[in-house]
Amino acid sequence: MPNTALPKLLHMMERLIAEPSVSSVSAEWDQPNVRVIDLLEDWLRNAGFHTEKLAVPKHPGKFNLVASIGSGPDGLVLAGHTDTVPFDQSRWSSDPFTLTEREGRLYGLGSADMKGFFALALEAIRDLDPKKLKQPLVILATADEESSMSGARALAAAQTRLGRHALIGEPTGLRPIRMHKGIAMECIRITGQSGHSSNPSLGNNALDGMSIALAEIIQWRNELMQRYQNPLFEIATPTVNLGHIHGGDNPNRICAQCELHIDIRPLPGMDLETLRGELDARLQQRLQHTGLDIARHSLFGGVPAFETPASAAIVQAAESLTGHSAEAVAFGTEGPFLQQLGMDTIIMGPGSIDQAHQPDEYLDMAQINPGVELIRQLIHRFCLN
Ligand SMILES: [Zn+2]
């Protein structure tokens, strides 16, 4: 890539970083992403793309952007999220919203995760000749990946047709990823009856019930670890973490209510709803003679586990272009939602996940030219051939 192109790319990255777009489940942190979406829409329109700005239902100020050029059923989608995580300004060496170059690194909130990717994608399409497109190219920019994934969920719910192959440019050091675990967080609440501690028959102790539930969950975890293994993951089994418990108020009072929060990380092939159903059935069965009430709800919608077959064209292309076999990672992405839209999806982008969600987040400038070239090659294979 000629060096003369870099100033334009850096300028775009600078503009994207300068627009705050934090997403968070805490209302005091959460911000609209519309200004980032508007910037991208403007640039993509000028590049000849047809754009659609889609409001995310029930999330005011949050938008997805679908920008496409060319037509046909088997297009390539370059996808990314427009939001960032919250930040702690006092721990940054420079302003998180001012793209700052130091020692071959570009510092800024979202430089790696993942506003920088959009600047690379726009650079890669700069000289694209629309008349040569045999399949469409789509740029997808989503809202709220770092919090509720409401943007990707809305696209999946609406069954928005986007293309056949997708690349999500999350920071992976430009190595292809085709698998990650899912995440579910569940709250289990056991309700009994309070009463004076001196006479157990005056109440029904929720903590007694919870001790049975805890033993059952640990038993279930052991069984899941026996049943499911995938050696491609660093932690080869599903995990179930007991993360939070609260119950009762006084030693001399029968505990009326106890609440437990757990985190479940299933492997690909394990369905979240099936797991929740299994958990419910086991707890109900174990506690049915206690007279205690047991209820479970999900603390958020969960992210399904994700796997794209090694034989998929996008996996094969990414592997041959990078010389790396596609791997499995421990973080969740919008991949499963794009899959629900019928796309074979791979995760691969510039920057390192080690720098994401950290003060002094940066993008290593050595990844920029190879990243742009990689995107160009994928466009060439999937849209121009
Ligand atoms: Zn990300």
What separation in Å is there between the alpha carbon of 330 and the centre of ligand 1?
A: 13
Mean of the pLDDT values across residues 190-197?
Answer: 97
What separation in Å is there between the alpha carbon of 98 and the centre of ligand 1?
A: 19
Cis peptide bond upstream of 13, omega within 30:
no
Write down the pLDDT at residue 288: 96
C-alpha to C-alpha distance for 222 and 328, rounded to whole angstroms = 23
In the residue annotation, 145 being an active-site residue is answered as yes
Write down the pLDDT at residue 160: 87
The C-alpha R_g of the chain, in whole angstroms, comes to 24
Nearest-5° Cα angle at 25, 23 to 30: 40
Task: Extract the tokens encoding 270.
Answer: 């394990």
What separation in Å is there between the alpha carbon of 114 and the centre of ligand 1?
A: 6
Helices (H), 30-101: 34-46
What separation in Å is there between the alpha carbon of 113 and the centre of ligand 1?
A: 5
In the residue annotation, 83 being an active-site residue is answered as yes
Closest Cα to residue 296, out of 284, 307, 280? 280
C-alpha to C-alpha distance for 1 and 72, rounded to whole angstroms = 29
Three-state SS annotation for 137-203: EEEEEECCCCCCCHHHHHHHHCCCCCCCEEEECCCCCCCCEEEECCEEEEEEEEECECCECCCHHHC
Mean of the pLDDT values across residues 85-104?
Answer: 96
Which of the following is catalytic: 30, 113, 145, 344?
145
C-alpha to C-alpha distance for 48 and 39, rounded to whole angstroms = 15
Which of the following is catalytic: 83, 113, 146, 344?
83
CA distances from 304 to 52, 129, 184, 334 (A): 27, 37, 8, 9
Share of the chain above pLDDT 90, in %: 95
Three-state SS annotation for 81-121: ECCECCCCHHHCCCCCCCCEEECCEEECCCCCCCHHHHHHH
150 alpha carbon, distance to own chain's centre: 10
Task: Extract the tokens encoding 182.
Answer: 């899912």
Write down the pLDDT at residue 385: 85
C-alpha to C-alpha distance for 385 and 379, rounded to whole angstroms = 9
What separation in Å is there between the alpha carbon of 365 and the centre of ligand 1?
A: 18
Q: Are 323 and 88 in contact (CB under 8 A)?
A: no
> Strand 50-55 to strand 63-69: parallel, antiparallel, or no bridges (unpaired)?
antiparallel
Write down the pLDDT at residue 1: 42
Mean pLDDT over all residues of the chain? 96
| pLDDT beyond 50 at 185 | yes
What separation in Å is there between the alpha carbon of 331 and the centre of ligand 1?
A: 9
Phi, psi of 13 (to 5 degrees): -65, -40
pLDDT digits (tens, 9 = 90+) for 266-303: 999 999 999 999 999 999 999 999 999 999 999 999 99
Closest Cα to residue 270, out of 297, 233, 234, 307? 307
- Enclosing H/E stretch for 272: helix 272-287
